[in-house]
């Protein structure tokens, strides 16, 4: 079952169960995917929609945005808005693969460095490309990038 099919089924189930908050979050996900579909069509003339890997990247970005918003709301004393953001994160994360543990991220970085034969900071882009191809949605690439940079610099 593709990501689009999973999202569509979840949307229908939320409608039938009259889960307003869940339905709202699922509609936001669909809107973000449709925006990317439109951007892909107008940019290169492609007719197909975005791939599952791209959908995972969209979902990962949505989680990060909501985490930042929740943090800002909590700092501002708007706990009800922070809780709404956290509820949306829980819905989005249902469609993301399991996040890798710190040890698994280290192992993935080691494997990517070895595969590329990276010897210095110049090879960082190649290593990150391998990581993104294999682990989209499973790790925080900003943190992984810092780790890769430290490993290749030292």
What are the structure tokens assigned to 15, written together? 């409608």
Half-sphere exposure for 104 (CA within 13 Å, toward CB): 9
Q: How sure is the predictor about 98, in pLDDT bands with cuts at 50, 70 and 90?
A: confident
Say if residues 33 and 60 touch (Cβ distance below 8 Å): no
pLDDT digits (tens, 9 = 90+) for 111-123: 999 999 988 899 9
Q: Which domains does the chain have, with CATH numbers?
A: 3-93 (1.10.1510.10), 102-153 (1.10.10.410)
Say if residues 128 and 140 touch (Cβ distance below 8 Å): no
For residue 47, the model assigns a pLDDT of 58
Q: Which residue has the higher pLDDT, 75 or 133?
A: 75
What is the largest distance, in Å, between two alpha-carbon atoms of the chain?
56
Model confidence at 14: pLDDT above 80: yes
Helix H or strand E segment including 36: helix 20-44
Q: Average pLDDT of 4-16? A: 93
For residue 127, the model assigns a pLDDT of 92
Model confidence at 88: pLDDT above 90: yes
For residue 112, the model assigns a pLDDT of 92
pLDDT digits (tens, 9 = 90+) for 41-82: 876 555 567 888 888 889 988 999 999 999 999 999 999 999
Q: CA–CA separation, 50 vs 37, rounded Å? A: 6
The C-alpha angle with vertex 98 and arms to 58 and 62, in degrees rounded to 5, equals 20
């Amino acid at each position: 079952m593709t990501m689009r099919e999973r999202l569509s089924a979840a949307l229908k189930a939320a409608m039938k169960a009259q889960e307003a908050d869940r339905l709202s979050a699922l509609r936001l996900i669909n809107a973000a995917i449709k925006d990317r579909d439109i951007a892909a069509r107008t940019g290169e003339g492609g007719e197909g929609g975005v791939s599952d890997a791209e959908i995972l990247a969209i979902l990962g970005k949505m989680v990060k945005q909501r985490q930042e918003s929740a943090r800002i709301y909590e700092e501002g004393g708007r706990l009800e808005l922070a809780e709404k953001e956290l509820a949306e994160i829980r819905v989005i994360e249902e469609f993301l693969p399991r996040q890798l543990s710190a040890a698994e991220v280290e192992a993935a970085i080691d494997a990517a460095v070895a595969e590329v034969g990276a010897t210095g900071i110049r090879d960082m882009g190649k290593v990150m490309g391998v990581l993104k191809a294999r682990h989209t949605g499973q790790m925080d690439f900003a943190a992984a990038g810092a780790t890769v940079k430290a490993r290749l610099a030292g």
